[in-house]
Chains A and B, each alone.
Chain A
Amino acid sequence: MADTRNARRPLSPHLQIYRGGLTMLMSIAHRITGVALYAGTLLLVWWLTAAATSDPYFDMVQAVFASVPGRLVLFGFTWALIHHTLGGIRHLIWDMGRGFGLRHVEMGARLSLAGSIILTLAVWAIGLGVS
């Protein structure tokens, strides 16, 4: 197809024109966590497959997850899952046409960040048996 772009016409504003802020960071984080979770399903399916396979194989996979790098990855996975879910709920609220005011958007960004950190720590506290 012919290139119909006219070099002198302005393009729609791209990222560099906006002032950064928490809301922008949260928007980017929603996409990054989505992609990270995509890769993370491999871990869930691997674990299920191991449980369906044999004792030695399951023990090996459990040991991988219980190792320090394994735990770091699972911790990151937990945070990504919770943050992306909270971000997803924000998207669903916007989809209903609500919560577009600057104050609400700013508050949602703060709440989803703080909430994801608190909930992740809570899940791990329960998981590690801290009560």
Chain B
Amino acid sequence: MLKKTPLGQVLGLGSAKAGAEHWLRQRVTAVAGIPLVLFLIGYILVHRGASRAEIVASMQNPIVALLMTLTILNLVWHMRLGLQVVIEDYAHANPTKYALLLLNTFFAWVMALAGVHAILKMSFGL
């Protein structure tokens, strides 16, 4: 047996103390997601068949640009937390699990940055 105290044997193996935070963030982004999804569906319906110039012009309204930015960031945050749970539920083998968790984080960052970049570019009229 290892020469470790009972406490030393379990430290670092159990909960990472991040569960409650994760759970709460998932709920906060879910609540925020309700009005933002309504905004997104409304925006898409209003701009169906719109030309590119009209989409760009819509983003020059700061309220629209900010709402769309919020939508993207909230959605990306929520989906990253959500998929993390799915991965942890099904992938138990360590290399696969960590690779998938890493991919999840990368994908979320790329979506957030690409989305916000596109919105700001249009908003600033470039």
Report A's interface with B, CB cutoff 8 A.
1, 31, 34-35, 37-38, 41-42, 44-45, 48-49, 51-52, 54-55, 58-59, 78, 81, 85, 88-89, 91-92, 95, 123, 126-127
Contacts and interface: CB of A to CB of B under 8 A. Distances in A.
A1 to B, nearest CB: 8
Contact of A45 (B30, B59, B82, B111): B111
Main SS at interface, chain A: helix
A38 B82 contact: yes
Interface residues of B, number: 32
Nearest to A31: B86
Interface in B100-121: 111, 114-115, 117-119, 121
6 contacts: A34-B83, A34-B86, A45-B118, A51-B122, A92-B30, A127-B44
Interface in B43-57: 44-45, 48, 52, 55-56
B79 A49 contact: no
B118 A37 contact: no
